[in-house]
Structure 1
Amino acid sequence: MSSPSGTPTKITQGAHTRGGVGESTLRPDGTLKVTGEFAYSSDMWHEDMLWGQILRSTVAHAEIVSIDTAEALALPGVYAVMTYDDLPTEVRNYGLEIQDTPVLAHGKVRHHGEPVAIVAADHPETARRAAAKIRVEYRELPVITDEASATAPDAIHVHEGRDDHHAGHVAHPNIVHRQPIIRGDVAKAAEKADVVVRGEYYFGMQDQAFLGPESGLAVPEEDGGVHLYIATQWLHSDLRQIAPVLGLPEDKVRMTLSGVGGAFGGREDLSMQIHACLLALRTGKPVKIVYNRFESFFGHVHRHPARLYYEHGATKDGKLTHVKCRIVLDGGAYASASPAVVGNAASLGVGPYVVDDVEVEAVALYTNNPPCGAMRGFGAVQACFAYEAQMDKVAHRLGLDPVEFRQLNAMEQGTVMPTGQPVDSPAPVAELLRRVKAMPLPPERQWESSEGADVRQLPGGLSNTTHGEGVVRGIGYAVGIKNVGFSEGFDDYSTARVRMEVVGGEPVATVHTAMAEVGQGGVTVHAQIARTELGVAQVTIHPANTEVGSAGSTSASRQTYVTGGAVKNSCELVRERVLEIGRRKFGSYHPAWATAELLLEGGKVVTDGGEVLADLVDVLGDEAVEVEAEWRHRPTEPFDLRTGQGFGHVQYSFAAHRAVVEVDTELGMVKVVELACAQDVGKALNPLSVLGQIQGGTVQGLGIAVMEEIIVDPKTAKVRNPSFTDYLIPTILDTPTIPVDVLELADEHAPYGLRGIGEAPTLSSTPAVLAAIRAATGLELNRTPVRPEHLTGTAPSTD
């Protein structure tokens, strides 16, 4: 069958975006996105296309007594209605790590909005009306919504008969995974403490809130297979989960990345992929599914809400003696990435500090709340909010400056983590704090001018609630540590295919990976690497698909490190083959061809002294050189399930923030004036993109600090605010000034010395904002997000 309109095309970067590693080159998709010409997955179209629709559960926990599809099937224009009983194979569950998620609910539903049936029709409105005509009878069951109800001796098991590889080391079937980290002797160390500070914290459920809802197009193929055009974060992981359910070999499930409108972890799990393929294979027609915003809130995982219990001890001169903490993450109805989130929360739960005596426990629960999984900085974000609040509390008790107290205890290269792993690359925690504190502060009372008050600069903004009365300024600091790449023994690798040939009288390199470009700028970086390693101006980025080996997920700040490393590796191999061709053709004419220091620069072969030996067009002629190669970072190992010891992470990244806020103490309104950031990036491959990643992550951390939270009814486990009317995200009017100080301390283990950067700023921005609000109000504020009622004394801060 023909390809659909709106599918990705090859992106060619020519002279207008010249630039190698270290330069701020323009994004090839930037202008298209700004002008509205970029083809997102929701824009795809195919001749004779049907529309898919999903019927979701209206209750959070219930037995399915019956499903009647007759009325839906009788509706004109309906081509198919499918329930669990219509699935084509015995493989009917999927999952990132634990295959506990049914394609369609069977026997019971476990969360509000779980898929129960799917419909294909000739018009989207017909599909919606047909789904509404499916009659489902439920017998409601008690809901499990927190740790007490999940682990009670008589608690209903969310998943009966668990047999996954985590089940054997947890105390209750409703615990997905447990990871302790134990080092030293906390009880003995506590005896040396002059000050002991305890705190209990709550971190709200955050949504990724990407602007492009889930969408995709499944096209049946003539060989009995299917071609899925999909917005995702990990093509090959999707493929691994989809093919068994369809009963097809993986080579008959072809996948091409379509335009992605943001991700932030929310597209790492499957959403409508299997449903679209099932309907396409059942009807023999292309099927498109596009979620609306309401569906999107139910159709992907969220950030784990967490309760965190911390104890810090310190001597009177400011040295930490011990840290003890317990982190309880609500994983919701299905496992998703919860085990990895637990590992991150536990291993990074102490923060970027030197502490010899540590006792950490992190667990994730099965509940009937919405499923939670990957979101930018997962696990480390929740922990950072709590341990940074604790650091401020300890500093206050000791009468120390909060920044100096952090610097006194800051880790550095050579520090041993609580897991026993030494930090063997730069860890400039104290320097980042020094830099962010040294940045000039924004002027006081910026809203005042000779023309009168500029209400946009005040808490409440254009609502004009104040002209400065009762407005108080606060300043707060925070720093965080995040791992880079997949951890705990996961075989983290990527693949790149690079081709070099002469096209139109010019040497051209083509880079083909399965990397999901979700807005992070990977396509720009890959072209920069190819220009640097191959010395060509013209680089074409091939559309990402499963015709090339896996690139892993666009998550964990890993793509520039791992897929960038694969592109670099493949380019180096291509370069060597090009030079072999040159030696074969021209080696006898010049002795320099025999040396190993030949380079490709500006479309020519040159010596390391700059002497031109040949033009690449002459070297290649009609020949083409193509290499597909994998690249792996150094191996990691699982954490010990009793002690948490192990070389679990491949690299760490660090960022520090200073927040300046102004608070209307009468109405509880907050204006974040500035969020200054200092971050070590190892090597800025594209400085402009680096700045965008840091500022974007900073704003996402701001969101969870003061406005973003999915509200789940504790009695029914139903989501109460599945829309952008009630779930608020920062707009440009909420976004503060974000000055950034970029530090480049190379990691010798990484390509070009780079360090993954996308997640670290999301960690420290949230606790910095909370610290600033505390400084302004004197309130304890131990939950996110902070709401007006928490600042005016009308609600407890632990609700």
Structure 2
Amino acid sequence: MTTVDVSVLDGVGTSPRRPDGTLKVRGEFAFSSDLWHEDMLWGATLRSPYPHAEIRGIDLTAALALPGVYAILTYQDVPGAKRYGLEIADQPVLAMDEVRYQGEPVAIVAADHPETARRAAGHIAVDYLELPPVTDPEEGDLLRRVPVRTGDPHPTADVVVTGEYQVGMQDQAFLGPESGLAVPAEDGGVDLYVATQWLHVDRKQVAACLGLPEEKVRLSLAGVGGAFGAREDLSMQVHASLLALHTRKPVKMVYGREESFYGHVHRHPATLRYEHGATRDGDLVYVRARIVLDGGAYASSSTAVAANAATLGIGPYEVPNVDMVADVYYTNNPPCGAMRGFGAVQACFGYESQMDKLAAALGMSPVELRIRNALTTGSRMPTGQVVEGPAPVASLLARVRSRPAPPPSTPDLRELPGGVSNTTHGEGVVRGVGYAIGIKNVGFSEGFDDYSTARVRLELVGGEPAALVHTAAAEVGQGLVTVQAQIARTELGVERVTVATADTSVGSAGSSSASRQTYVTGGAVRAACQAVRATLLSRVAGATDVVGGKLVNAAGVVVADLAEAIGDEPVEETVEWRHRPTYPIDPKTGQGDAHVQYAFAAHRATVDVDVELGLVKVVEIATAQDVGKAVNPLAVVGQIHGGTAQGLGLALMEEIQIVDGVVRNPSFTDYLIPTILDMPPMSVDVLELADPHSPYGLRGVGEPPTISSTPAIVAAVRAATGKALARVPIRPEHITT
């Protein structure tokens, strides 16, 4: 276990105030939609009204005639690559001969006023020949199949349960819609200020589409209003840059809420078919499963989502015989890609529903069945990978089970399903309790070169040592800026730390996704700080360490002040840091060490259900999660609260309604997300079981709470109603019919 000196003011293990916190609370923080440039134009996008159609012609005449319109571009105006994509370059910058989903961009407009740009887009005449959409994934083209097979292919068991489960399409529902500002540069390139999750991958795709070398496309991170996976893919980045270079003027693009629903990927809808076999004593013998994911019109990160669903799709359990296949298909539904949990969410709803069904068939406690089959350190995953770090599955379950039960419901309307709408006085209300636990990989997998770059500079400012930390890691609201400063304070022993704006003038930090940034960028900042320390120590004879702003020798005697060692020569080091490698899985068996780290979280949900009206109130949630090391304890708890809220949303209310490829609810009027009134009191039990391979022993935090909260809530509703409830989100009619 790695120990750190937490006595450093605002260092690792403390919860300093976030530098952006006060501004955000006061409404004074500058988000990307607040960007402004003198003499800038406004961009707008014309999108397809059809999920599938042939484009037979585009007439720009009427739109170009509007006063104030500077440019209208179609695919013919794209100077470089016509397609882009995170993993497969299959998505057109602008639709060419056909559109493959409702909302696909067809043309872009630049005008001197946002309303003029929107009016011009509405005046573009497109001759469409509507085609039948493919909306059932099993009728679409296969994008990727991921099998995971181990053990006896024909096992038998004393008790067998089967089930088919469905997960609806969930939106990331971040509060700040897509936006950014592109500014043409004197060298023929472009400077792009944008809310994103992955600056360098954006740059690579944008440069290719613009036909420019990457060094002429410079990205800076603008204020991000949430992400949760939806900003990994491009939205307006290429469009704004094209318009800026064409008009030679700055161009700002800001999506409205409805356009945002069309402008980013969503969580994959899924159908999950499971068969579990066990001995009469409750030992799992085998699992057979097939997971079908709807990838939508373009690939995005679907291939990786399918891999996660397959490799994690048995859950945190020891199962000797596994036959799992996860398939993802192209359809004419909206594109799907990354969202918090990334394939593990869908799978967890399936396998945890099965564990409850198996427990009932065996006459066992659902918690005892899970504990009996729990992974431990040294267990082998169905992929053959050994779980090397702590795997406190049984402990997490025991902890949430042992939490005190919430008090019984009262006649107070505010505490009943339906609240002050006065739908019930408690006569049809039944209480239920449910449990679930999930598993999630941390970091990128399957041999991806997952690394981050950090530049750290230590100098004297006003005669005092001060550190400057510069990475390209995207702060998307998770508190990464705070964590980077904490690590620098701890490693360098200085209190004055500035974190520079993330941009592409420093090496890549990868994506703010996969619960990886504190691990990987935190590791890079730590390594760069250690390199700075080594340089400082080499300057002073006999110095072996930096403690409390002093250089000391092996006996702990001060030999120089930190300021003296810096002098007139600032120290700057840039480090590219990687975690231990992962490897591709075998395409036929799914065997291989695909993941760098596993994370676990358990939930117990208590609900009150009005079984006559189908209304659900989540009364309390207890959760336990191993975080390895709480670098920022308050931020850790915040991530667990936020992830649980998104899991509650998927369980009870959040679904993009699609009929024949057409989105029916692209607004927060009809797409419901949890508010503070929907979130119950939460008890959070944070374990710190250090991972020997990670910086400070830490473990990724952000995704596991979303994974297990959904099935725990559904299990509680099942317990209250006696209904099978094989689909999320649960609707009132699922309970009452």
TM-score bin, normalised by smaller chain: over 0.9
**8 A contact 2:202–2:234 mirrored in 1:** yes
- 2:3 aligned residue: none
Mapped pair 1:637 → 2:627: no
What is the deviation of 1:612?
A: 2.7
Describe the superposition over 1:626-664 as per-residue Cα deviations: whole angstroms up to 9, x where unpaired: 011100011111111100000100000000000000001
Does 2:662 correspond to 1:695?
no
Which residues of structure 1 form unaligned runs of 5+?
1-16, 151-173, 794-799
Residue 295 of structure 1 and its aligned partner are, at CA, apart by 0.2
The equivalent residue for 1:668 is 614
Tell me the equivalent position of 2:597.
Answer: 651
Give the counterpart letter for 1:376 in structure 2: R
Structure 2 residue 184 is matched with structure 1 residue 220: yes
Aligned pairs (5 A) from 1:418-437: 418-437=382-401
Trace 1:467-478 onto structure 2 (pairs within 5 A).
467-478=425-436
Are 1:352 and 2:352 matched, yes or no? Answer: no
What secondary structure is seen at the aligned counterpart in 2 of 1:652? strand
2:4 counterpart residue number = none
| 8 Å Cα contact 1:536-1:601 kept in structure 2 | no
Name the CA distance, whole Å, in 2 between partners of 1:229 and 1:545: 9
1:95 aligns with 2:85: yes
Secondary structure of the residue aligned to 1:643 is coil
Q: Normalising to structure 2: TM-score of the pair?
A: 0.98
> 1:737 & 1:315 partners in 2: Cα distance?
38
Report deviation, 1:22.
0.8
Tell me the equivalent position of 2:247: 283
Question: Are residue 734 (structure 1) and residue 674 (structure 2) matched?
Answer: no
Question: How many angstroms apart in 2 are the aligned matches of 1:131 and 1:756?
Answer: 43
Which residue does the alignment assign to 1:133?
123
Q: Does residue 149 of structure 2 align to residue 149 of structure 1?
A: no
State the alpha-carbon separation in 2 of the partners of residues 567 and 529 from structure 1: 7
Amino acid paired to 2:346:
Q
Report whether the alignment pairs 1:35 with 2:26.
yes
SS at match of 1:477: strand
In 1, the alpha carbon distance for the partners of 2:427 and 2:127 equals 56
Q: Which residue number corresponds to residue 256 of structure 2?
A: 292
C-alpha distance in 2, partners of 1:219/1:184?
58
Mapped partners of 1:474, 1:546: distance in 2 = 51
How many Å apart are 1:456 and its aligned residue?
A: 2.2
Report the residue type matching 2:150 in the other structure: R
1: CA distance, partners of 2:328 / 2:357: 27
- 1:250 lines up with 2:214 in the alignment: yes
Query: Which segment is superposed worse, 459-468 or 317-326?
Result: 459-468
User: Are the counterparts in 2 of residues 186 and 324 from structure 1 also a CA contact under 8 Å?
Assistant: no
Note if contact 1:186-1:322 (Cα within 8 Å) is conserved in structure 2: no
Deviations 1:714-751 (A, max 9, x none): xx310000000000000000011111000111110111
CA distance in 2, matches of 1:457, 1:505: 59
Q: Name the CA distance, whole Å, in 2 between partners of 1:26 and 1:675.
A: 27
Contact 2:138 2:329 (8 Å CA) reproduced: no
- Percentage of matched positions with identical amino acids: 68
- C-alpha contact (below 8 Å) 2:290/2:325 kept by paired residues: yes
For residue 604 of structure 1, report the CA deviation from its aligned partner. Answer: 1.9
| Cα distance in 2, alignment partners of residues 228 and 466 from structure 1 | 54
| TM-score normalised according to structure 1 size | 0.91
CA contact (8 A) 1:537 1:603 kept: no
CA distance in 1 between partners of 2:567 and 2:378 (Å):
51
SS of 2:510's equivalent? coil
Question: Which AA in structure 2 matches 1:102?
Answer: P
* Cα distance in 1 for residues equivalent to 2:554 and 2:653: 56
The yes-or-no answer on 1:565 pairing with 2:511 is no
Contact 1:600 1:606 in 2 (8 A): yes
Q: How does 1:301-700 map to 2 (within 5 A)?
A: 301-445=265-409, 447-448=410-411, 453=412, 455-581=413-539, 583=540, 587=541, 592-593=542-543, 598-607=544-553, 610-700=556-646
Instruction: Give distance in 1, aligned partners of 2:333 and 2:548.
Output: 57
Given that 2:137 and 2:293 are in contact with CA atoms closer than 8 Å, whether structure 1 keeps it comes out as no
Residues 694-773 of structure 1: pairs in structure 2 closer than 5 A: 694-713=640-659, 716-773=660-717
The answer (yes or no) to whether the contact 2:294–2:331 under 8 Å persists in 1 is: yes
Q: Deviations over 1:256-315 (max 9, x none)?
A: 000000000000000000000000000000000000000000000000000000000011
- 1:548 and 1:119, CA in 2 relative to 1: closer, same or farther beyond 3 A? same
In the TM superposition, what whole-angstrom CA distance separates every residue of 1:41-96 from its partner, at most 9, and x where no partner exists? 0000000000000000000000001111111111000000001112223x110000
Describe the superposition over 1:449-485 as per-residue Cα deviations: whole angstroms up to 9, x where unpaired: xxxx2x2211112322112121110000000000000
How far the C-alpha of 1:613 sits from its partner, in A, is 2.5
Q: Is the 8 A contact 1:529 1:568 kept in 2?
A: yes
Segments of structure 2 that go 5 or more residues without pairing to the other structure are 1-7
Q: Secondary structure in 2 aligned to 1:673?
A: strand
Superposed, which structure 2 residues align to 1:220-239 within 5 Å?
220-239=184-203
| Cα displacement (A) at 1:602 | 2.8
**RMSD (Å), alpha carbons:** 1.0
The Cα of 1:18 is off from its aligned counterpart by 3.6
User: Is contact 2:196–2:232 with CA below 8 Å preserved after alignment?
Assistant: yes
Q: 2:111 aligns with which of 91, 102, 121?
A: 121
**Helix, strand or coil for the counterpart of 2:682?**
coil
Give the residue type in structure 2 aligned to 1:503: V
Shift of residue 608 of structure 1? 6.2
**Residue 56 (str. 1) matches residue 47 (str. 2):** yes
Q: Secondary structure at the match of 1:472?
A: strand
Q: What's the CA shift for 1:569?
A: 0.5
Q: Identify the residue that residue 776 of structure 1 maps to in structure 2.
A: 720
2:102 aligned residue (85, 91, 112)? 112
**In structure 2, do the counterparts of structure 1 residues 475 and 619 end up closer, same or farther at CA, with 3 Å as the change threshold?**
same
Over residues 478-517 of structure 1, what are the superposed CA-to-partner deviations in whole Å (9 max), with x where a residue is unaligned?
0000000000010000000000000011100100000000
Query: Per-residue CA shift, 1:505-530, capped at 9, x if unaligned?
Result: 11001000000000111111111110
* 2: CA distance, partners of 1:617 / 1:651: 39
Contact 2:272 2:291 in 1 (8 A): yes
CA distance in 2, matches of 1:463, 1:248: 59
SS at match of 1:407: helix
Query: 1:154 corresponds to which residue?
Result: none
Aligned residue identity for 2:105? P
CA displacement at 1:600 relative to structure 2 = 2.1
Shift of 1:147: 3.2
Aligned equivalents of 1:606, 1:32: Cα separation in 2 = 40
Rounded to whole Å, the distance in 2 between the matches of 1:752 and 1:88 is: 47
Which residue does 2:15 correspond to in 1?
24
Deviation at 1:609, TM superposition (A): 5.8
User: What is the rounded CA distance, in whole Å, between the counterparts of 2:138 and 2:352 in structure 1?
Assistant: 27
Q: Which of 135, 140, 148 is the equivalent residue of 1:181?
A: 148
Asked if the contact 1:54/1:116 (under 8 Å) is kept, the reply is yes
* Cα distance in 2 between the residues matched to 1:772 and 1:724: 27
Give the 3-state SS of the residue equivalent to 2:658 in structure 1.
coil
Report the CA distance shift for 1:27/1:609 in structure 2 as closer, same or farther (over 3 A). Answer: farther
Distance 1:475 1:561 in 2: 34
SS, match of residue 125 in structure 1: helix
